Chain A
Amino acid sequence: MLFNSIDFFLFLPIVFGLYWLIGGKRIKTQNLLIAIASYVFYGWWDWKFLSLILFSSIVDYSIGLWLGKTKKISTRKLLLWISICVNLGFLGFFKYYNFFIDSLIDSFTFFGKELNLSTLNIILPVGISFYTFQTLSYTIDVYNKKLQPTKDFIGFMAFVSFFPQLVAGPIERATNLLPQFSKKRSFDYANAVDGLRQVLWGLFKKIVVADNCAKYANIIFNNHTEYNGSTLLLGAFFFAFQIYGDFSGYSDIAIGISRLFGFNLKRNFAFPYFSRDIAEFWRRWHISLSTWFRDYLYIPLGGSRGGLKMKIRNTFIIFIVSGFWHGANWTFIIWGALNALYFLPLLLTNKNRVNTDLVAQDNFLPSIKEVGQMALTFFITLIAWVFFRADNVLHALSYLQNMFTASLIYKIEIFPSTILLLVLFFIITEWLGRRGEYAIEKIDFMKRPIRWIFYILLIVLMFSFTGEEQQFIYFQF
């Protein structure tokens, strides 16, 4: 079920009503309702894959209980590895099996040998990368004794399948989300209103910004040989806003809906395109994934404790793994590696934690230096996005080759002024609201009639500019 579909528009009020009216303040009933609603939500796409979520939930719930009972280190390690193998096994099979087979065949062909292996017709279960990481975080945290194993199976099922963030995150840590399922939740007016506002902003990002940018990004990327450099640059610009609007829009909707049900999810995006260097960008982009890799991969690998070589190695590992997490394609691996390369100079000069505050924290406008820094950071991420968007590595290289020619300064061949004005409106709103958790969080200073007119303007824009793309990009990851 898509957030921007009529199905969901009917589904949400029903679940919301049942949750607060029937569920009342009984935690178990509320959890059961969430679990059922989440399974309906997921099953709407394909009910057959519900068994995967259920199996994953049973495995990690049981392992959690077992870890709680045993103190023997070898048994604990074995249990942890079972969980890792089961979860990553599913992920590896559904997401990476064909990629590895294809790569193996290509490697043998490169050396003049023929390998008789065939790929499988596998459907990637929506959101598998997200809920796999979420359940893994539970087992790892229980193993590391950061979290007590839960005995409430329904609560655990609801945690794994929690519908607002099930298919595209934010990837919640068990330490943050799971305890909320055992706490008393009562309706909070301010929280619910704020949640709805965040949902509205998320829908605007998705429907108006992402879907409309997608239209032009697709035209330009799919016919890149026919356009000059400046148009290709615009194509990359459109994709940058498509992916940002799409993914951060989903996160906003997920966080907003969770608040309607009395849950607080972690922030996933913090205005990343206002970053002054790539390190700041990665502290602001897909925060839940970056911190997951930091805590469960980078730090266990030694982090930055083992000297420069280890720092560089670990940085490359997490960026490349992060790229690979996005999809079974070399383009994502190169995208990750490219970001690691961008990160390297900051790491080597120990400047990766210089820009930890908000840009123009106390000012209305940024300084010229900050504008330059933001523009440069945005530009290099734009180059990396070309790999992320391209169908394959050759496509990306050809795109960049055609972009970096003398025609980069020629007149742009496609100039959808209305869409660019919408993007400008979006950037200005984000800039003005950058001190909040999301752009329109602090809108409360306005009087209610003005606030409501602003909300209605957003709704009117959504209806007027409903783009062609409707599927969220991150569903495929």
Chain B
Amino acid sequence: MKKFFNNIILFGLVALCIGEIVVRLTHVNSDIPYRTIDDMGIQKYYPNQEGYWKGGDHKWMVNSLGWPGELPDNYDNLITIIGDSFIENFMNPNDCHQSAYLKREIPNYNFLEASRSGVTLIESMEISKQTDTLNPIATLIHTGNGDIYESIKEIKSLNDITQLNTKDEVIIHGKMKSPGLKKVLYSWKLLYYLYNRFPLNFKNESIADSKKDKTEKSKFEINETRIRVLLNYIKNNYKIENKIFVFKPNSDDNIINLFKSMGFKTIILDSSKDKSWSFEHDPHWTCYGHERAAAQVSNKLKLSFLNRITVD
């Protein structure tokens, strides 16, 4: 019996080592960049990292400022782009980033992206405090329904992301969720592969979905006052003159109208008359989706903002 268990353990160890090598060589997982929280409470990436996206056909990179993507050649005529995983865009090569497409569309301007998956609108605004130090002429803040609702602590309290307590009008910065475990998981690629392949799902999805369906319809109505507090907070605490809020396709018209009515500059992306912008099994945009989104943004910028005309 002892020999049996010893051999099982030995075989397990050998299998783990070989499995780790195979997983690393074949890039079946995406490499995950390491995060840190800076002095201003912003979660960003350790600078100068790079790794392979799933399948190994392209590499992602984190620049010296700690944001994904390449830095511009210079900071003159700078337009910054802030957003979540759509702008972070690890799933596409660097030349499919918003900054790359916009540079092609409007070559006289330089673009810098500052993004991280999971950022809320309020966190984007906090990030803009940092990017404003580079004196951009404009900042494009990509957002959507989820980013706005998740900004408000009272709607859903999330400890790992930055939110606004609308009652006291206080920003609560996100904390790193299980940093030690994540470090192990991301370093031990085989374990991470198994974790992704066989996710431990303890939630009853059908119940969660049915609840979601029931509440989604009236979500704006329920939370309109809180959203107003959020937008007022943004208006009063950030430099919004050069901020343009870019709404993802299918964003809630009620929210967009509220932004407009409160004097925010907006660009609304529309993919309804186009072929799919997203990957087959992933809601994120493909290179095509990014190209189309950048074309719509640049058209609006050329037509209005860059000609000193108010957008929408």
Contacts and interface: CB of A to CB of B under 8 A. Distances in A.
Interface of A: 6, 20, 187, 189, 192-193, 452-453, 455-456, 459-460, 463-464, 466
24 contacts: A6-B198, A20-B1, A187-B1, A189-B1, A189-B3, A189-B4, A192-B4, A193-B4, A193-B7, A452-B11, A452-B14, A455-B11, A455-B15, A456-B14, A456-B15, A456-B18, A456-B19, A459-B15, A459-B19, A460-B19, A460-B22, A463-B193, A463-B197, A466-B197
Contacts of A459: 15, 19
A452 B13 CA distance: 11
Given A456-B19, A460-B19, A187 B14 contact: no
Interface string B171-202: 00000000000000000000001000110000
Contacts of B15: 455-456, 459
Contacts of A189: 1, 3-4
Given A456-B14, A456-B15, A463-B193, 12 more contacts: A20-B1, A187-B1, A189-B1, A189-B4, A192-B4, A452-B11, A456-B19, A459-B15, A460-B19, A460-B22, A464-B28, A466-B197
Q: Is the interface of B mostly helix, strand, loop or mixed?
A: helix
Q: Is the interface of A mostly helix, strand, loop or mixed?
A: helix
Nearest to B10: A452
What are the 6 closest A-B residue pairs judged by CB atoms, nearest first?
A187-B1, A456-B18, A456-B15, A189-B4, A192-B4, A460-B22
Contacts of A6: 198
Interface in B278-295: none
Nearest to A457: B18
B88 to A, nearest CB: 28
A460 to B, nearest CB: 6
Interface in B1-42: 1, 3-4, 7, 11, 14-15, 18-19, 22, 28
Contact of A187 (B4, B7, B18, B193): B4
A201 B197 CA distance: 21
Nearest to B197: A463
Nearest to A463: B197
A28 to B, nearest CB: 20
A191 to B, nearest CB: 10
Contacts of A460: 18-19, 22
A460 B19 CA distance: 7
A20 B1 CA distance: 9
A464 B23 CA distance: 10
A197 to B, nearest CB: 11
Contacts of B7: 193
A193 B7 CA distance: 10
A25 to B, nearest CB: 12
A13 to B, nearest CB: 9
Nearest to A20: B1
Nearest to B16: A456
A20 B18 CA distance: 30
Contacts of B197: 463, 466
A101 B146 CA distance: 53
A37 B11 CA distance: 27
Nearest to A453: B18
Nearest to A5: B198
A459 B3 CA distance: 22
A467 to B, nearest CB: 13
A279 B172 CA distance: 76
A456 B3 CA distance: 20
Nearest to A187: B1
A6 B197 CA distance: 11
A24 to B, nearest CB: 11
A464 B1 CA distance: 32
A192 B28 CA distance: 33
Q: Which of A6, A192, A452, A463 has the most CB of B within 10 A?
A: A463
A356 B246 CA distance: 76
A319 B197 CA distance: 43
Contacts of A463: 193, 197
B292 to A, nearest CB: 32
Contacts of A464: 28
